[in-house]
Amino acid sequence: MAKKYNICLDVGGTKVLGAVFNEKDKLVCKIKRRSTEKGNSSENIEEVIIEVTRLLIQKANIKKSQINAISAGVPGIINSATGVVVFTPNLPWRNYDLKSAIEKEFGAKFYLGNDVNVGVLGEFEYGAAKGYKNVVGLFVGTGVGGGLILNKKLFVGNEFMAGECGHMIVDENGPECGCGNRGCLETFSSKKGMAKYIKGEMVKGRSSMMGEYIDDNGVFKSKYLKAAVEAGDKVALEAIDRACHYLAVGAGSLISALSPDCVVFGGGVMEALGDLFMEKILAEVDKYAMPSIRPHVDLKKASLGDYSNIYGSLALIKQAEKGKK
């Protein structure tokens, strides 16, 4: 019998990352990043996914018939039951049946889920949160995403919309958020939130090396924030202090509400500056969590880096197959 392989993808607003796993869940090969920025339609992004999948098949030296399943973490609201991308903010998908398109192309089952949910699932099955029963994930990047594992299962809630932890209001008088509310965790602790604070301080006449690295969309690469910290940039350090304070407030509230075994912090910012962020979060979180619950909760930095979603996609396949037995 021919060997079977799983193809796992991380689809983002600017790239697709892919990997092939063998029957023993060993990573056989991977493709770093291919741009999705030029894709201006649902079909174009679909073509990028198909291209990356074809390249993975070629690189792994396997045949289409050897594909067991394909899986992906995708930003936005995903109906995991039907495989329809209901809405995604940074890609042109609205009620788009991605599942049928991929299955038709490759003749294999295709599973997908929200990218942060899938990332948290990856950390739960293969990373820092392995061995826990109830997990809260907070992923810090351009925004702040969240994911929930309850009783060892990914919790997606009503209409697949659960886990929007970045839109918990932590200061009702805080900055306006893209969601329409004010004072969401994301407005303080995301790249956009930190960038807005830095630019605001620069308008007041203060200097920061981050000024040249914040792009027109109000974001920056995490490596530049790390460089600013190493250079002792006061404004950047203040933005980080502010971000970590509100991450501690948010995490504390989630600890009190859900009593998880573990809160795991991931995303690009945590990958670049995780030790510093964890130190600052741990210094404050006890103030904002119920004292009788807090000692029973571990706070950890994600361990899979760029591959949280890739391993989460593998976990989606495993869960689906387990459910069929």
Q: Mean pLDDT across the stretch 255-265? A: 98
- Beta-bridge partners for 154: 149
CA–CA distance, 65 with 297 (Å, rounded to integer): 45
188-197 in b/e form (b: 16+ CB < 10 A) is bbbbbbbbbb
Q: Could you identify the residue written with the tokens 């073509």?
A: 47
**How much is the pLDDT for 102?**
95
Dist CA 45 CA 9 (whole Å)? 13
- Nearest-angstrom CA–CA distance, 196 and 175: 10
Q: What integer pLDDT is reported at residue 325 of this predicted model? A: 59
Backbone angles phi, psi at 69, to 5 degrees: -165, 160
pLDDT value, residue 27: 96
Beta pairing class for 135-140 and 144-150: antiparallel
The pLDDT tens digits of the residues spanning 151-176 come to: 999 999 998 899 999 999 999 999 99
Question: Which of the four pLDDT bands, split at 50, 70 and 90, describes residue 229?
Answer: very high
Q: What angle do CA 84, 10, 273 make, to 5 degrees?
A: 130
Give residue 302's pLDDT: 97
Amino acid at 247: L
| Tens-place pLDDT, residues 268-283 | 999 999 999 999 999 9
- State the average pLDDT for the chain: 93
282, 321 Cβ separation under 8 angstroms:
no
Average pLDDT on 98-104 reads 94
- Locate 305 and state its tokens: 């880096």
**Runs of H (alpha helix) within 18-132:** 42-60, 98-106, 115-126
Statement: residue 90 has pLDDT above 90: no
Q: Residue 123: pLDDT band by 50, 70, 90 thresholds?
A: very high
Average pLDDT over residues 114-140: 97
Cα gap 321→313, rounded to integer Å: 13
User: What is the torsional sign of CA 312, 316, 321, 322?
Assistant: positive
pLDDT-derived band of residue 124, with 50, 70 and 90 as boundaries? very high
8-state DSSP, 177: P
Domains of the chain, CATH where assigned: 5-119+307-324 (3.30.420.40), 132-302 (3.30.420.40)
- Pairing mode, if any, of strands 94-97 and 84-87? antiparallel
pTM to 2 decimals? 0.93
